[in-house]
Homo-oligomer: A and B are copies of this chain.
Amino acid sequence: MRKILIIEDNVDVRENTAEILQLAGYEVITAENGKLGVDAAMHQQPELIICDIMMPLLDGYGVLHLLGKNTLTQNIPFIFLSAKSERTDIRKGMEMGADDYITKPFDDIELLNAVESRFRKLDLAHRELPHGQEGMNQLLSKIEGIHDITKIAEKQQVKIFRKKDLIFSEGDTPAGLYLLKSGKAKSYKSHELGKDLITRMLQPGDFFGYVSLLEDTDQQESSEALEDCEVLIFSKDDFFKLIFQSPAASKQFVKLLTGKIAEEEDRLLSLAYSSVRKRAADALLVLRKRYHDGGDQPFSMAISREDLANMVGTATESLIRTLSDFREEQIVEIHGSTITIKNLEKLQKMRN
């Protein structure tokens, strides 16, 4: 039940208004002057405030002003309800930042409609976005539907990277938000003296490079094309606009980040205590999950042993030996650099 705060000194008006709203199914709290009203707003966090202007102790303008100073209350919709009906009065109220201004005497219906309208606006901004499989692509494209994201994309530069090209590297100043349009790529971090750890395998539709944008630092990781790629680069501004435009978008983005955190914590655990054998199995499963086309065919993919080792976090030779074991155990089949998963279940049930 939505909570509405009424601030009004006249007992009759206050109780009458409260009654109307209660009958309409709202929870109502009341305050008989501005000071008490501000207090109530701070402590009870109503979802909407209806406020008279002429009041003893602290008038309506003062209430609005004070609430605006506090982040917890500044976003609560605020409606003036006043007998002051001159044009200048109304303008003053609106200019102070009110969301609506209703003059007395007023109709029940007018009041209810005004209230409902503000709630509708609130809901709109907080409405859950259809939330997606995973990946920032789903997030961003779903914010507006693929329709709009391509519209934005039209304004952006498209860059082509050939296999083995660096898309960006550690220490670069971030050029913007990257979106992989076609091809495969990897994100990785480098350890001293040439050992890399792949943090993410990218598929078409994936966004990347946003951490340093948000952290406002140089790139903390590098990215390299694994095959020929088309990459879109969005400006930082567009990115921030998209993310922080509506609370719903922020929420979705926060969920995405949290998902990433959860994933990384699992990986930390496995890197700390799981054997190379287990981690290798996991890496193959990750590849399958990322790149499997969904057909009935057993999953098959060409990947360099070095990259695979860098996903697992081990030496190339160790990875190769593990793969050979898998081959002998009929878990995978190997032709050149192509690995085919023959026995998915065994991979999934791999013990440490």
Contact = CB atoms under 8 A, between A and B. Distances in A.
A88 to B, nearest CB: 9
A245 to B, nearest CB: 6
A352 B192 contact: yes
Contacts of A191: 269-270, 272-274
A151 B96 contact: no
Nearest to A88: B110
A267 interface: yes
A253 interface: yes
Interface string A303-318: 0000000000110000
A241 B45 contact: yes
A146 to B, nearest CB: 13
A143 interface: yes
A189 B265 contact: yes
Contacts of A114: 91, 94-95
Interface string A174-215: 000000000000000101100101010000000000110011
Contacts of A313: 268, 271-273
Contacts of A143: 71-72
A22 to B, nearest CB: 21
Interface string A257-282: 11111101111111111100000000
Contacts of A268: 189, 197, 199, 264, 267-268, 271, 313
Contacts of A124: 68, 74, 97
A250 interface: yes
Nearest to A152: B72
Nearest to A195: B273
Interface in A34-87: 42-43, 45, 68, 70-72, 74-75, 87
Interface range, A side: 35 or more
A222 to B, nearest CB: 12
Contacts of A126: 244
Interface of A: 42-43, 45, 68, 70-72, 74-75, 87, 91, 94-97, 99-100, 103, 110, 113-114, 116-117, 120-121, 124-126, 129, 143-144, 148, 151, 189, 191-192, 195, 197, 199, 210-211, 214-215, 217, 220-221, 241-251, 253-255, 257-262, 264-274, 313-314, 352
17 contacts: A71-B143, A72-B143, A75-B245, A75-B246, A94-B117, A95-B117, A189-B266, A191-B270, A199-B265, A215-B255, A220-B262, A244-B247, A257-B261, A261-B261, A261-B264, A268-B313, A271-B271
